[in-house]
Every structure is written in C-alpha cells, then in structure tokens.
Amino acid sequence: MSAPVRDVLLVVFIAAFFIAVAHTLFLRGRVYGRWAKIAYLVAAFSWLTWGILAYLVMHPRYIPRDTYIVLLSIRHVFAGFTIGVAVAVAIARPYSKASRLS
C-alpha cells in the first residue's frame, strides 16, 4: 500500500470515529445517557492519540527501534481502549427514544 493511500485511510478512520461521537452528542432522535457522552468524549481523545501515534509509527526509519516498539504498544493500548468503550456503549443501549411532542 502506498504512503498517500495509508495517510488518507488514517484520516478517514479518525474522521469516522469523530462523526460517530458527534452523532451521539448531537442527535435529537435518541437521548444518550450522560455517562455514554462522557465515555465517547474520552474515547475520542484516545482515538485522536491513536491517530497521531499511527502516523508516527508509519515512518519507522526516523525512530529508534526501542522507541518504535514502545509507541506501537501504546498505540495498541489506545485502540483497545477506544474499541472497548465503543462496544460497551453499544451493548448497553443507554438511550431512550425522544418524544415526538417536542
């Protein structure tokens, strides 16, 4: 895979998660619980950090091997945390339908 394609895919993955967070925070059809909104905001910062680390790790020739391994490990921790939060909120279904009267 060429470098420009990887960069575009990285931006798409980051943007897709932020669209999902905005959907949770600002959607009027379903009202999410406060804990879910806070969890998604924390996960959004984690996902942004994952994206930054993914960009740094994409070009390993500029980073020493030990630093590369540590950054890669931290990147996987952030990805796991974000996926875990997203799955927890999706399974819990913490929303209620908004009434059509308002």
Per-residue pLDDT tens over the stretch 33-47:
788 888 888 888 888
Residue 30: φ, ψ to 5°: -130, 140
Domain that holds residue 70: 3-97
pLDDT exceeds 90 at position 20:
no
Please list the residues that pair with 95 across neighbouring strands: 32
Placement of tokens 């999902």 in the chain: 20
Do the domain assignments include residue 52? yes
Q: Would you say residue 72 lies in a domain?
A: yes
Tokens 């994206």 sit at which residue? 51
pLDDT at 57: 84
94 vs 93: which has the higher pLDDT: 93
Q: How many domains does the chain have?
A: 1
Q: Is residue 78 part of a domain?
A: yes
Contact of 14 with 52, CB cutoff 8 Å: no
Q: Specify if 40 maps to a domain.
A: yes
In a domain, 102, yes or no: no
Query: Is residue 44 in a domain?
Result: yes
pTM: 0.72
